[in-house]
Amino acid sequence: MHFSKTYIQLLLSLPPELRDNAVEYRQLKKLINQTVTELNSLGLDPLVLRKLLEHGETIVGSASFRELGESLQCVTSEEGSSHQPTVVYEFASKSTYLEPRLRLLLKHPHDAADGISTEQHAHSPIPDKDLGGILHALLNDIPKQTDLIIPLRSDAAFFQLLTSTLSSLSEHFDGLYDNFSSTVTALARVISSTARPTTSSAPRSFSVYSLAASNVTHVRPGSGGKSDLYTWREVFQLYVEAEVFEGIGEVNRCERSVEEAEKRLQAFEQRIKEKKGSLRLSGSTGALDLFISLNFFILDVKKWQFANAEATRKILKKHAKRTALPIPSHLISKWDGSIPSPATSSTDLALIPQLQTSLPRLLVQAIGETLLPVVPHIDDYSCLICTSIAFKPIRLGCGHLFCVRCLVKLQKRAKPDCPMCRAPTVLKADRNNVDYALLNFMSDWFPLESGEKLRANEREAAQEELEELGLSESLGCPIM
């Protein structure tokens, strides 16, 4: 299937706000055809023009000089030297658009033979007439070197349409990002209300650093009221593990292709359907649906951006192939996804806007920076020794954090140095090193994990006391 049909089908599958803002591929193709017709009317068919621009190939003697039209014969001086015009395809940068044109450098054959200086140039725009006849007359009449400028009206219309379309796309990118960021922020507020902690230490207006107790032994995790905290934590954990749009591992750290992202997103949606039944609050169901729809919108934007980039790349290559007018390679490389080197930049083509950083990546970053942190993850509050939650955390003088049981074990073994930085802070720690704010935070946001860690600490402490008394639960009661 031709790209034009594939491109139209892809756009039809996208929402109207994306479909109506896309590269006009078919219209650009029509302008390419008009450019070819215009060049042919000047005697510059693609094969001929390509030879002139790339290889400078000419036919000497009395043979027909078809590179400049059938009516133009190659002019030969008495000494037998032939005149070869130089043709350059260039862009004149206007204030708001590009103006492509051909510049022909013509030198009278007697100038070269007699060594006449040709420092002075006469610039003359060529109207839309027979180019061969004009050149033949000029070569016979002018005594000096002359630059002839041939404006290409259809080609100018092509680049004006392309430039305006890409400028519109760039502005639309900014609008999409702003609207998406606002939606994510609003969704974060909804999720934070449905996933708010309901434990006994949580004040009415929760603050991470609220000090709900003055002593570590007074804070015990509990639960009360309704909250979808754990369901949302599972949803976000599954989302991070799915790596829908970008791999986060060291081996596969890269942006996903459209096909791979769609496959992963559909798999994630199937797993999320099981979690809907676990939601207890009415606002959570709508928030979850919105979260899923935002990710499908990112997928649509990914398709849209890929389609526009591919359409621009292909239309530029088609332009170069059909007309033989060379598009600078560094411009095409930008739409191939590669990064051109600074040395290949062109001021003449500065008016053609380039795609920004991947818009889908920016949208995914917005989710990661605004939405996911609404629900804290337990891995961020783990003890560095036992790797479970650091409930009843002790912050050493060096700043590193450990759970109380791991610190007690280090002190009993007379280990003075911090396991992380080797600072002599372990034996100096006491009850004053308890991080009460973090203790309350863990009790509020991780009530189940905190309760399990507290019970495990109590069992372990009781076991150590029995062992110190010479008793052991495994041996049973010695009296019995």
Tell me the pLDDT of the chain (480 aa) as tens digits: 588 889 999 999 999 989 998 999 999 999 999 999 998 888 888 887 877 776 444 333 222 334 344 333 333 334 444 455 577 888 776 656 678 888 877 655 555 444 433 334 444 444 444 555 555 554 455 555 567 788 889 999 998 898 888 888 888 888 888 999 999 999 999 998 888 886 544 444 444 433 333 444 444 444 456 788 999 999 999 999 999 998 876 666 688 899 999 999 999 999 998 888 888 888 899 999 999 999 999 999 999 988 988 898 899 889 988 998 887 654 554 444 443 333 333 444 444 445 556 778 888 889 988 888 888 988 888 898 988 998 889 999 998 999 998 998 899 899 999 999 999 999 999 888 999 888 888 888 898 888 898 888 888 888 878 877 777 655 454 444
Domain membership flag for residue 442: yes
Backbone angles phi, psi at 102, to 5 degrees: -105, 135
User: Is residue 327 domain-shared with residue 406, that is, in the same domain?
Assistant: no
**Boundary (domain end) residue, out of 375, 404, 437:** 375
User: Which two three-digit tokens encode residue 72?
Assistant: 């133009």
Kindly state the DSSP code that residue 412 receives in the 8-state scheme: H
What length is written for the chain? 480
CA 353 to chain centre: 16
Kindly state the DSSP code that residue 76 receives in the 8-state scheme: B
At 457 the pLDDT is 85
Q: Give the whole-angstrom CA distance, residue 97 versus residue 32.
A: 17
User: Is residue 365 domain-shared with residue 445, that is, in the same domain?
Assistant: no
User: Which two three-digit tokens encode residue 351?
Assistant: 């008016």
Helix, coil or strand: residue 98: strand
Q: Give the whole-angstrom CA distance, residue 46 versus residue 38.
A: 11
User: Is residue 325 domain-shared with residue 437, that is, in the same domain?
Assistant: no
Q: Give the whole-angstrom CA distance, residue 191 versus residue 189.
A: 6
Domain membership flag for residue 283: yes
Backbone angles phi, psi at 50, to 5 degrees: -65, -40
For residue 292, what are the domain limits? 1-57+84-107+143-196+226-333+357-375
The interaxial angle of helices 153-194 and 359-366, nearest 10 deg, is: 10
User: Is residue 323 domain-shared with residue 175, that is, in the same domain?
Assistant: yes
Edge-to-edge strand list for the sheet holding 86-93? 86-93, 98-106, 146-151, 122-125
User: Is residue 366 domain-shared with residue 233, that is, in the same domain?
Assistant: yes
User: Is residue 188 domain-shared with residue 314, that is, in the same domain?
Assistant: yes
CA atoms within 13 A on the CB side of 242: 23
Residues 6+ apart with CB under 8 A from 307: 7, 10, 11, 22, 23
What is the total count of domains within the chain? 2
Q: Give the whole-angstrom CA distance, residue 50 versus residue 44.
A: 9
At 259 the pLDDT is 93
User: Is residue 277 domain-shared with residue 154, that is, in the same domain?
Assistant: yes
User: Is residue 364 domain-shared with residue 407, that is, in the same domain?
Assistant: no
At 346 the pLDDT is 41
109 and 76 Cβ atoms separated by less than 8 Å: yes
262 and 299 Cβ atoms separated by less than 8 Å: yes
User: Is residue 291 domain-shared with residue 403, that is, in the same domain?
Assistant: no
Q: Give the whole-angstrom CA distance, residue 208 versus residue 225.
A: 20
Q: Give the whole-angstrom CA distance, residue 208 versus residue 201.
A: 11
Nearest Cα neighbor of 313 from 298, 327, 299 is: 327
Kindly state the DSSP code that residue 402 receives in the 8-state scheme: E
CA atoms within 13 A on the CB side of 254: 6
Domain membership flag for residue 408: yes
Q: Give the whole-angstrom CA distance, residue 323 versus residue 42.
A: 13
Regarding beta strands 86-93 and 98-106, do their DSSP bridges make them parallel or antiparallel, or are they unpaired?
Answer: antiparallel
**Boundary (domain end) residue, out of 317, 348, 375:** 375
Domain membership flag for residue 22: yes
User: Is residue 249 domain-shared with residue 291, that is, in the same domain?
Assistant: yes
Q: Give the whole-angstrom CA distance, residue 374 versus residue 287.
A: 13
User: Is residue 371 domain-shared with residue 427, that is, in the same domain?
Assistant: no
User: Is residue 362 domain-shared with residue 249, that is, in the same domain?
Assistant: yes
- Amino acid letter for position 435: D
Domain membership flag for residue 120: no
